[in-house]
Amino acid sequence: MGKDGFLTPKAIANRIKSKGLLKLKFYCQVCEKQCRDENGFKCHVNSESHQRQILLVAENPGRFMTNYSDEFKKDFLAILSRAHGTKRVFANSVYQEYISDRQHIHMNATKWNSLSEFVKHLGREGICHVDETERGWYITWIDNSPKALAKQAAIQKMDRVQRDEEEREQQLLNEQIERAKKEAEERGNASEQQATELKRDEGEKSKIKLNMSLKPMAKPTAPISSKPGGNKMRMMMKSGGTSGGGIKKPDPPRHLSIGKPRSLK
């Protein structure tokens, strides 16, 4: 294995460094090349490939800057809308998510010098709601897609219909109240009577009649015997006994005559 092989400690360290974010001032946007230090960036600037790219940019610098700005804006808004939606979010957090991609367009290649200017531009264009706090700028993406606009229009229509129904109900209620007031006033005028004082002649006495009569109490009825034959006996007593008209007395007991005892022979 050679000294500058793929698995040497130096090669491994260089690959680890290349995965992370390096200083922005050592990045060439025209060549899309990131240098790790000032010496490497100086060597790249003096290289032949970089000089050819600079000649192409010098022919029409405005077009290159416009393309870089549009691409930066497009990618930034894509992350904002996809990851955060219409939520209020810290602008610097979205920018950190954007620059985590090594192939992104750097801000020093666009027409905006800082993130604050870019956020203000989004607010002026009506793309986002922006507000400044002590911590920094906060942005809220405005969804202007046809689907979102149709949904918003449907919600507004429902609110308008509900508001119209409430207004009609309130109007009907007011009409009923006015009608009830008019009817009460007409009824009061028709049956209105003036109150008069109670007048009484001298020496006249007031009389009060009280009904003190009491109703006689009903006589208690004889209890019905529960013994068998009780009803029959009661009927016989009411009718006067047997068919002869009275109760038949029992015959007196007959005395038996006892003769003299016979003599024994």
Residue 48 resides in a domain: yes
Q: Both 2 and 14 in a single domain? A: yes
Across 69-79, average pLDDT: 90
Is residue 91 within 8 A of residue 76, CB to CB? The reply is no
Q: Both 88 and 149 in a single domain? A: no
Asked which of 142, 170, 196 is the last residue of a domain, the reply is: 142
Q: Using one digit for the tens of pLDDT, what is the confidence trace for 169-183?
A: 888 888 888 888 888
Asked which of 59, 75, 99 is the last residue of a domain, the reply is: 59
Confidence tier at 243 by pLDDT (50, 70, 90): very low
Q: Both 12 and 28 in a single domain? A: yes
Residue 211 resides in a domain: no
Q: Using one digit for the tens of pLDDT, what is the confidence trace for 15-64?
A: 776 666 667 778 888 887 878 788 888 888 888 888 888 888 888 888 88
User: Which residue is it, tokens 């998510």?
Assistant: 97
Q: Both 54 and 71 in a single domain? A: no
Cα separations in angstroms, 149 against 26, 130, 153: 44, 21, 6
Residue 257 resides in a domain: no
Q: Both 66 and 130 in a single domain? A: yes
Q: Both 45 and 15 in a single domain? A: yes
Residue 47 resides in a domain: yes
Cα separations in angstroms, 105 against 37, 69, 73, 91: 20, 8, 9, 17
Q: Both 13 and 84 in a single domain? A: no
Q: Both 69 and 138 in a single domain? A: yes
Q: Both 27 and 66 in a single domain? A: no
Contacts of 94 (CB under 8 A, 6+ apart): 76, 79, 80, 83, 84, 139
Q: Both 47 and 2 in a single domain? A: yes
CATH number at residue 74: 1.10.10.2030
Q: Both 5 and 28 in a single domain? A: yes
Residue 137 resides in a domain: yes
Give the total number of structural domains in the chain.
Answer: 3
Asked which of 183, 210, 233 is the last residue of a domain, the reply is: 183
Stated pTM of the model: 0.49
Contacts of 232 (CB under 8 A, 6+ apart): none
Residue 261 resides in a domain: no
Across 238-252, average pLDDT: 52
Range of the domain at 176: 145-183
Residue 252 resides in a domain: no
Q: What's the confidence (pLDDT) of residue 118?
A: 92
Q: Both 96 and 37 in a single domain? A: no
Residue 222 resides in a domain: no
Q: What's the confidence (pLDDT) of residue 76?
A: 92
Confidence tier at 200 by pLDDT (50, 70, 90): low
Count of CB atoms within 10 A of residue 128's CB?
A: 22
